[in-house]
Amino acid sequence: MQTVTALPQLRQAVDELRGNGSIALVPTMGALHDGHLTLVREAAKLASHVAVSIFVNPRQFGEGEDLDAYPRQLAEDSAKLEAEGVALLWAPGVDVMYPQGYATNISVSGVSAGLCGADRPGHFDGVATVVCKLFNQVRPDMALFGEKDWQQLAVIRRMARDLDLVLPHVDAIHGVPIVRDPDGLAMSSRNAYLSPEHREAAATLPRAMDEAIARIRDGQEAAPVLAMLEDQLLGAGFGRVDYAELRDADSIAPLAADNGNARLFVAARIGGTRLIDNKKVSP
């Protein structure tokens, strides 16, 4: 695996790989867990070479968020990627990604409204901006993202369409299903912040979502079912529920009832850690 931290070396490395097949990019912020490695393995099935980026992107963290505390473990991450047969690790510093004088921002409206877009103002601008830059830097044939960040995936797909970003693969912005621990909790780098008690209580989140989905599928009205879901989480030790909402899976528009393309989205905080999850509602 070649690790590069500067743009001229990246261009050279990408040119060499490109002369020799297709490239799938897996953008990450590091602290790699099995969820990320699933993306890497999926990428290896779809392209000749896998490139991974590790960049903790300051522009997608709001004030008071965990930018400084965000786990940074490049040596450990690098060993994991090497073992997966990754061809290229792109690990730029902040000064390379946003050199002095940097002044451009990409803002995607519509799909970024509500949910995490409401709770974390500017977050999706930061994501869209860095992902657009990563696409331009690595020029991949395709890129893979986890469906745990479903709204992020919708924002990136919209941005790529709107800005005519050309990624040649037919399924260029490829979503990969959520990887869950045996108790159902979606894998996340932030799970590392949970104490053993909070980790155990956190498994209430996917269970309560499944119950809510079963009720909505049974024809119960969404609003009282979602209120019940919130009470369940607060009763299990969550300190706050940021949102528990039914939305259209593609447009991310709010729904009062299942429209045949519905997804349940939840963000809730436990012991200071914000967990998000989403599940398909429509059978």
* Minimum distance from residue 165 beta carbon to ligand PAF (Å): 14
- Closer CB to ligand PAF, residue 147 or residue 242? 147
**Which amino acid is residue 17, in one-letter code?**
L
**Residues forming the site for ligand PAF (CB under 6 A):** 27-29, 57, 60, 127, 130-131, 149, 152
* Minimum distance from residue 53 beta carbon to ligand PAF (Å): 7
Taken as a whole, the chain contains a residue count of 283
Is 36 one of the catalytic residues?
yes
* Minimum distance from residue 236 beta carbon to ligand PAF (Å): 26
CA dist 209 and 220 (Å) reads 14
Report the interhelical angle of 150-162 vs 123-138 (nearest 10°).
60
List the catalytic residue out of 33, 36, 49, 123: 36
CA dihedral 124, 127, 128, 134 (to 10 degrees): 180
- Closer CB to ligand PAF, residue 32 or residue 209? 32
Backbone torsion region of residue 197, taken as left when φ is above 0, otherwise alpha when ψ lies between -120 and 50, otherwise beta:
alpha
Backbone angles phi, psi at 275, to 5 degrees: -110, 140
- Closer CB to ligand PAF, residue 131 or residue 264? 131
**Which amino acid is residue 79, in one-letter code?**
A
* Minimum distance from residue 218 beta carbon to ligand PAF (Å): 34
- Closer CB to ligand PAF, residue 150 or residue 233? 150
Residues marked active site are found at 36
